[in-house]
Amino acid sequence: MCGIIGVSGTNHVGLDVYEGLHAVQHRGKDGGGLVSFSDGVFNGPFMRDGIIAEAFTEGEIRGLDGAIALGHVRYATQGGRNKLDAARDAQPLLFKHTRNGAIAVAHNGDIRTAPQLRTDYLAIGGFFQGTSDTEVILHNFAKATNDSLDSLLTQTLEPIQEGAYSLVMIVDGKLVGARDVNGFRPLVLGKKEGGYMLASETVALKRARASYIREVEPGEIIVVEDSGPRSIRPFGVRSEGKQKKCVFEYAYFARPDGLLFNTNVAAVRREFGEILARKFPNLSTDMVGAVPDSGNDATIGYCHASGKPFEIVFSRDHFAGRTFIDPDGEKRAAKVRAKLSPYEGLEGKVVTLVDDSLVRSTTSRELVKMLKEVGVQGVNMLIAFWPFAYHCKYGIDTADDGELASHSMNPEEIRKYIGADFLGFLDQAEVLSAMKKVGGLEGFCTACSDGEYPVS
C-alpha cells in the first residue's frame, strides 16, 4: 500500500504535497519522494528513507515550488525491501527524455502484468533501474505513438488496465490522475485556491486545506488543464457491481476521519461493530475495549448496539509505528508491546477486545498474552472483518498464504493459538451488507476471503 499526491496550480505546490503526504503517512513508511515541475524543468525527484516528517527540511520543501508537484510514500510489494532496492524503487519515477517527452509518475497498487511486460521490454532492448512494477508504465509511455495527449495516455495505460493502480503523473506539462477499471485503489480530486489536487484519501485534501470535489471513477483519467480538470474514459464505464474495490481499505488502511469511495469510513466501521454485537449477543464480559487506533470505531459501534460501555484497555504510543506493515514477524511482535500497554486495574476482569482484522495473528496473540500477564481473567476477541485467508495480489503486503492465520487454521484453532477465551469474526456476507447499508456500495474484491482473484 502506498500514498500518492499530485498538486497543480496552487500558490505553493511543494508545501501542499508535503502536507498531504503527512496525512497519508499511514499508507507506507519505507520511504518518500517529491518532484516538482515548472516552465519545462523538473526539480528532483528527491527521495528519502523513513517518514516524511523527519525526511525533508523546510528549505527543501519550499524549494519545490513550481507549477506542479508529485509526492509518494511507499512500502514495497513487488519491489524490493533492501536499502539498494529501496533507493532504486523510490518514487516518483521520472523519465526526462523519451520520444514522447518527459513523464513523472507515482503509483499505488500492484500491476499484475508487470512481470510479463518487463520480460517483453527486456527482450527488445529495454532496461530497468529497479524492481518496482511502476517502471513498466514509463516504458509503456515511451513506446506509445504520440498522436495526441489523450491517445498517449490511453496507450500508456491500456497494457495495465486490468491491474491495480491509482496514479498521479506529470505528462506534457500537465497533472494527470488515473485509476484502474476495477477501482481497486482509491483516488480523489480536490480544489485549492486556483489549483487542483489528486490524492489517495480525502484526509490529504483536508490537511492541505483543499476542498473535496469527488472520487476519480474506476477507469477514468483526469487531465488538469489551465481551464480545470477534464475527464477521459478510454476503457469504457464499468458498472459499480462489476468493480472490485478493496474492502480492506475500509477494515484497516483508510483513515477513519475521511471518505472512501464516497462513503464515511468511520460509519462503515461502526456498522461492522454493530453487526458483531448482534451476532454475538451473549458474551459475558466486565468491559469492552478497542485495539487502538483502527479498532476504535468498530468498538464504538459494538458498544452502541450492545449497550455495554466503552472502556480504555490499552494506552497507545503513537510513535511506535504500524505493526501490520513491518515485514518481519519478530519485529511486529516487539512493536506490539512497544506500541500498546495495558491499563492498570484490569486484574480479575473479563475483557472483550474489538479489533479491525486478524491477518497474521501476531498482534492478537501478543495482546492476549499481555492482558493475562497483568492478571486479566478472560479475553474475548471480536474481529470486525472476515477471516483474512488469502494473500493480496493488488497492493497489500501479505506475502504468502502460509503467513496468514486463517489460511491454515480454523477460528477455533486460531483462538487456541492466540490464547483467547472466545474468538469471533464477521463473515463475507456481513461485511458486504455493511457496505450496502451505510453507503449503498457494491462491487468489492473478496479474494482475501475466498481466494477468487478477479484479475489473474
Catalytic positions, written as ranges:
2
Could you tell me if 80 and 86 are in contact, meaning their C-beta atoms sit under 8 angstroms apart?
Answer: yes
Could you tell me if 132 and 89 are in contact, meaning their C-beta atoms sit under 8 angstroms apart?
Answer: yes
Residue type, 338: A
C-alpha cell at 310: 466503552
Query: Which residue matches cell numbers 516504458?
Result: 139
Q: Residue 353 and residue 384: Cα distance in Å, rounded?
A: 11
Picking from 36, 33, 34, the residue whose alpha carbon sits closest to that of residue 9 is: 36
Q: Does the bond joining 327 to the residue before it have cis omega, within 30 degrees of 0? A: no
The torsion region of residue 77 among left (phi > 0), alpha (psi -120 to 50) and beta comes to alpha
Query: Which residue matches cell numbers 525527484?
Result: 45
Q: CB atoms < 10 A from the CB of 147, how many?
A: 10
Q: Residue 116 and residue 113: Cα distance in Å, rounded?
A: 6
Q: Residue 23 and residue 271: Cα distance in Å, rounded?
A: 24
In sequence order, which ranges of 33-134 are alpha helices (DSSP H)?
52-55, 58-62, 83-89, 114-123
Q: Residue 453 and residue 203: Cα distance in Å, rounded?
A: 29
CB neighbour list of residue 139: distance below 8 Å, 6 or more residues apart: 117, 121, 126
SS3 of residue 305 by DSSP: helix
Residue-by-residue DSSP string for 419-437? T-SEEEE--HHHHHHHHHH
Q: Given the DSSP bridges, would you call strands 93-95 and 174-179 parallel, antiparallel or unpaired?
A: unpaired
